[in-house]
Each structure stands twice: as C-alpha cells, then as structure tokens.
Structure 1
Amino acid sequence: MLLYLLALNPTDSVTQGFLPAAARLGLSVTVLTDSPAPHQRAYARLPSPPDVLKCDVREFREVVSLISTRRAPNAVFTNSDHLQTQAALAADYFGLPAKNWKATLRAKDKGLLRRHLARCGLDTVWSAELAPGEAAATLTELDVPLPCVVKPREGVASEDVELVDDMDQLVRCCEDVRRRRPGAALVVEEFLVGEQYTLETLGDGTRRHVVCGFRAEPSPPPYFIDAVYEFVPTHPPAVLEQVLAQLDELGVGLGACHTEFIVQADARARIIEVNYRAVGDQTDLMMADLLEIPYFEYVLGVHLGRPLPADLGARTDMRMHNLAVCADRAGTLTEAPGPSDLVSGGVRLSYRPVRALGERHEHYHSNRDFLGLVWAMGQDEEALRRAAAEFVAANRWEITP
C-alpha cells in the first residue's frame, strides 16, 4: 500500500512519528515536498527511508498531477498546517478518505474561522482583517477593543503574534509584521482572557475520540510562547461540550486535530485557533508514549479508511509536564546539553534538543526560539514540575551574539 505524504520542512512528528508508524503498518511512503534535500538528510538514517520527490505542494493541482503519473495512492496525508487543504483536495480527487476541505480552510484562515463561528451563533470574537497592501493606519477608523492581538491570518507557532495596548502600538506592530512578511494578510482580534488549554481529538469520519488535553502556560505578554504544557486527561463536561460543538460547526471530523482555547471565569470556552493536525513540538511523541497507544498508526489508519476502535485503550493514571528552554536573544548556540533520559524517584525525564550546536538564529519571540524540550512523566504532578526545573537549573545553554 502506498502513502503520499505532503511536507514543507522536515519535522519530528513525521521523522520520528509518522514514518516509523507507516513502516509498522507495511506502507510504502513517497514524500512530496518543495525542498527535497533537507528531507533526504533527515530520513537518511531511517531503516526504510521514503522516496522523496520535488513538487510544488502548496498548489493542489501540481500534487494531483504528479501523483497521477505514478502508482495509484492508498492515502494522501499531511501533518503540515500549511498543506491540509491541498492534501484534502488531492485525496478527494483520487477517491480516498479526505478531510473536509472547507474545514481545513476554515482552520487555516483565522479570519474565516472567526466569521464562520460568529455566523453559526456559537461565539463572536471581535476581529478585523488587514488585507495585503492595505495601510495599517486604516485600523484607526475602527472601534478596536484594546488591548488586542495582532497575528498573521495564516500563521503558525505563535510567529509574529503580539499583544498591543494602544492604537499607535497597533499600527507600528502591523507595519513591523508587514516588513517581515511582505504581502501577508493580518488579523486583529479581541484579546481573550482566561486559562489556556488544548484539546486533542482523533476521528475516523464516523466516530471521534477525545484523546486528551493540555494546560498551557504562555510566556508573559506581549508574546505568546507555549513554554509549559501539562497533561490534562479530560476537561470538564461543560467545557468539552462547548469546544466540540464549535469543531462540529467548523466541519472537523476525520483525522487528528489540535485545538487551543481559553476558559474564562464564567466557564465559557472560547477557541483561540484550530490546528487541523497532530499537536507538535514533540508533544505528540510524548503523548503517545504517556498514553501507551499506537497514536501515529491510528492517525494514518483513518486516512486509509480504517475505523477507530470504540476504545483507544489509553492509559489514564499518568501525568506529564513539559518545560521548553527558550532563547532570550539572537545568536549562535555554543553550549547546550545533549539528549538525556533519566529515571529517579518515580519520574521519567527526557530532554531533547531542538536547536543544534553551532546554529545561528534570530530572536523570533515564538516557538521557533525553543532550544530544547524537557519532558517529565510520572504520577506526582509536583514531582514532575520539580524534576523539570532541576534539570534546567543543572544545565547550561549559551548563546553567543
């Protein structure tokens, strides 16, 4: 059986999650990407490296055309935020299980998501769009609720997302983002105040499972970096009902979905954004380990038309604490610990580098600033927090300007 996997840059989710799962399922994999060389390097040490073909994967017509010249697919899949609609349209063209392309588009386009939920009467978040080429000063003509959030309409990983307090700052922020992202459309929206959580779901088109969730501790304003994640086996029923109702209206069904939302003081759940793919930044890898389920096989299976079991068989007695080590300035990483796996006092701790020694990066004020991720697993939540903090305190990350 043949799986076509669409990708832009290599990711841990694909390299360490989906490709090994595909091998366990007996699938042959062909990766379609606009940048083959990084993928070939990333997969070189895998026992069964996939074929890698160059393709303009942002254009679904090119994807369909290339696949049609080769062996017929059994599934077309992507875990990229940017390529969900292209994969959905290509899968549908070949008569394969496919996500609803309208749902993938609503999830990707943050302005469209806000308008759709408002029209359905489920939630109205004040928002406005700044079209490509439109002067940021036009926002001063609107009754913008302050403080507010500026974000790229189709951005990911909290990149160029910023909280602003007044109109002058709003205009400057939009102009700054425009310099970094020429031609990008921006969304300005109401700042949602409350506790931040995620919901991880998985559906086969008929049945949808709530896999788990996480409580997030974002970095201090004005930026939104998810520096801490803590495992939440389940959310309160009233909160879960609200989030699932909004996902239903958006059309989210088949496959994995990672939803970020705020719970306000009155227990009202309000969606921040919907990422119609598996949770990233290695969280999916640790989640599968913690729950002891073949998560990646399940995700690929539904794209092959296989139903999910009535019970995923997830373990429920364990807890997990994630602490991200973030760069605080631009420069070259000159000192950092290597990968670690430690077990002590009922805590299993893993550290995985995200940035390699010798790499130079700008300061992004986003998840792209991650230097490494500390994961602590066990049954005592306080012990997990303490173990992660002690690991960070005992090690050194040095950035040279």
Structure 2
Amino acid sequence: EDLKMPHIATWWCGQRAARDEVLARLDEVAIEGAYRRGVPGFDSNGPVLASELDAADRQRLVDAITARGMDYVGQEVVRLSTMPVWEQGLLTPRPFVLRVFAAATPDGWAIMPGGFCRIAEQADARAVSMGDGARAADVWVVSDKQVPTATLLPATDKVRIRRIAGVLPSRAADNLFWLGRYLERAEATLRLVRALGSPSGPNKGTAASAQSAERIQRLLVAWGAISQTSRAAAGRITAEALQGEERFGSALSLVRAAQRTATSLRERLSPDAWQVITEMAERLAYEVEDDDSVLSAAELTLQELASFAGLAQENMNRAAGWRFLDIGRRIERAINTTRFTRQFAYDEAGDEDLDILLTLVDCQITYRSRYLLAPILAPVRDLAVLDGYNPRSVAFQVTTLNEHIAAL
C-alpha cells in the first residue's frame, strides 16, 4: 500500500517564515543541525530540546538561530510506539523506530518485507531520545503458510576447485602493504634502540661511543622516534624511542598502527599472526622502569616480529595478498638499510660504526665467517648494499620487488 504516515514535520530556519515559526514554537520542537549531526555551538551528538535548556543556553540558541538560521532546522517532537524487551529478567517497554528497505524494480519501487528496528535504551518515548547507544533488532514477517526455501550456496556435489579466493580488493591490498611497512619500520626502530643501549659488537663490553650514539640519535630524530628536545636533554632516549605515545616513529606507535591496520584484515590473518601483533602492542604499552627493561622489551618484541615474519612466510597463501604484504616489508627494509649505510658506512667510518651497521642489518655472523677480520669499509658496504645472497641487503630487496611486480 501507499505509505499512510507522513514525514515528521521539519522547518529549515534558512527561510524567514520557517525560522519565525520555529522561534514561536521553540518549546514544542527539537533543534538539529542542518548540515551535520548535532547542533552547532552545542556539545551534542543529536537534537536539542529548548524546553530542557536553562535560560542562558536557551537565549544563546535563539540568538544563534536568528543570526545564522541556515545552519539549523526545527523538527516536530513525536512520541514513539514501544515494544517489549527482555531486561534483567523482566519484559520492559522501550521506544523503537522501524526501518524498512525499498528496492528499485522495473515496475517501480517495492518495499521489502521485514527490516530492522532501533530500540532506545531509555524509557523516554520521544523521537529525539533515539541517539547513540540504541540497540538493533531484526524484524521478521511471519507467514501463515509454508515458504519455499532458497539458497545461493552451491550444492555440495558441484563445488568447483579454487586456488585463488578471487580478486584482491584494493583496500585490502593497501592495508597489507602498510601492515608490512609498519612492522618493518618498528623493527628498524627497535634495532636502533638496542644498538644505542647495548654493547655495539660481540667483543665490546660498553655501549655505543658518543660519536656512534650521536649518529643513532640522528636517525631516531629523523624518523620521529624521539624529539630534538629529548635528544638534547639525553636521559631516557631509548625509553622514548621504545614507547613514546606522542612520537609517531616510536616502536609503540608503529606497532599500534600495524594493529589498527591488521584489524581490518582479520579474515586474512591467522589467529597466531593476530595474537603476535596484539602481544607486541600490549608489551610495548607496559611502562619500563630502567635501561635493562628497555632492552629486554626491545629484544622480546624483535623476537615476536621475527615470529610474525615466519608466520607470513610459511603459513600465508602465496596469492596477491601475500605479495603486497611482502612488497611493503621489502620497500621499508631497503629504505632503512640505505639509511643505516649512509650513517655508518661513510668514507671515513671506523671499526665501531661499521660494527654497528653489521649489527643493524643482522650480518655479524655472515661477515665474520667470510672475512675473519675486523670490519673493513668495502666488504661491509658490499654486504649491506650489493650482496644478492643477503636477505637484508638493498640488492636483495630490489630483486624480490621485481619478482613480485612481475608476478602481479
């Protein structure tokens, strides 16, 4: 049938006659913003009832409507029907609104049977009380006779074998790409934290020298892990780089960014992978008390990052989604290795700076087994930048990126 209930009467205050009508009936209408949710100038997420305002706020509302009526609408206050809800062991009446759906067909608009209703949490039956916090319920239309069943699911004996789930949505590809970048960037920050606060090489018992520490701090400032102020004040630089909530480049901020990104990818990540990301965020949020705690948290988080990399490498299907995740990791690793090399493998670099570079790119064992010498500039540069067999070299990342792009 044609709809029998009229729309709720609404007046746009941008027209003089409508504005005068609203101001004359101010206690009988609800005021709402014309272009956005809430009322301009008032801290509200929904309509405002002038009858419930004190004298000062009421006058402020009148002045605002008079000055810029175009920003406001007045709406008739209607009372809603109620339905029973089960609450604390009792059936209690609660106001509700019914939402139905209309479908465009070749023969015109058709109202679909059923729908859903929004149920207010308060007993106030006025329509303006239907704000945030309302619950929802499906509305079913019960037939008085048997209804034929229909399903779009395929018959079990006619399932086609599929090895690719389908086209990867662009949003999922983007999220996977940035998940890889955030986690790799967090790993680079953690490696710098570890290098700054722990022995810089296998045969050294002291932390990085002042010159090497200066270079590490320069990198941490450059990518937002610490501020220039904290760098000048020294103190707990490693703690800020580890868990500074206001620093976008801190390990905590990066892992939280990865967690937010992973939230929209839950159906593409295994429970183990999700658990690793969650545990990293929880560990880094726990306040550290001293330098030893900082290093311990950094070490444990690096181990968890390695766990995630292993899960992605061994458990994730090699479809386009995995490639975008790995592309993000490879791009970020290439950038970070290049930055490390520029800082610590400069032309006059000494043993300590080269040793720190080998630690940052996780190549200490490889270098010692190949050369049996203290760090020398040319071999260290080759290992970090050009060695195609080293999974942390820039060359390895470029080769892998080319393979992914060719496959895509």
TM-score in terms of structure 1 length: 0.23
Which structure is richer in relative contact order (CA contacts within 8 A, separation 6 or more)?
A: 1
CA radius of gyration, larger in = 2
- Counting strand residues as a fraction of each chain, which structure ranks higher? 1
